[in-house]
């Protein structure tokens, strides 16, 4: 199911990892305001889903990473610990599977998809 997923040499933002869970399109947009509902919509099949993070219980204060807030419309998630939007991608293994680092509280987080609803 991940055959269409190609990771670039330097995945660095959520838009490099987030794909529609149903059709695997990369045309995923976050149409709401930062820090609102985190409801994302697939531009191909109109599926909607929430992008969330989960705490791993780990912290990383050593990595020299200073992430910025995502551009408007780009896939956006908030830190599960402090709600910051400044998340950096630490590693990724497949689409929608990533380890993130919060630039504010330095919590290590896992990306997750919730409330997936097919487009009508
Ligand atoms: Zn909203
Ligand atoms: Zn889709
Ligand atoms: Zn945080």
Per the structure, the count of domains in the chain is 1
The closest ligand to the CA of 78 turns out to be: 3
What pLDDT does 34 receive? 81
* For range 69-83, the mean pLDDT: 94
- Specify if 37 maps to a domain: yes
Q: How far is ligand 2, taken at its centre, from the CA of residue 79, in Å? A: 25
* For range 8-16, the mean pLDDT: 72
Bridge partners of residue 94, in order along the sequence: 97
pTM comes to 0.86
- Specify if 5 maps to a domain: no
**Residue-range definition of the domain harbouring residue 49:** 14-115
State the residue for tokens 């919590």.
Answer: 107
First vs last Cα of the chain: how many Å apart? 23
- The residue among 116 and 7 whose pLDDT is bigger is 116
**Per-residue pLDDT tens for 83-114?**
999 999 999 989 999 999 999 999 999 999 99
- Specify if 49 maps to a domain: yes
How buried is residue 17: exposed, middle or buried, by Cβ count under 10 Å (0-12/13-18/19+)? buried
């Amino acid at each position: 199911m991940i055959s269409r997923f190609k990771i670039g040499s330097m995945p660095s933002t959520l838009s490099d990892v987030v794909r529609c869970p149903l059709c695997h399109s990369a045309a995923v947009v976050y149409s709401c305001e930062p820090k609102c509902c985190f409801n994302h919509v697939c531009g191909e099949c109109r599926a909607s889903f929430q992008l969330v993070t989960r705490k791993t219980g780990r912290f990383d204060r050593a990595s020299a990473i200073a992430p910025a807030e995502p551009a408007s419309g780009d896939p956006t998630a908030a830190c599960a610990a402090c709600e910051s939007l400044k998340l950096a991608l630490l590693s990724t293994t497949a689409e929608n599977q990533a380890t993130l680092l919060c630039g504010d509280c330095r919590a290590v987080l896992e990306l997750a998809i919730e409330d997936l609803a097919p487009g009508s």
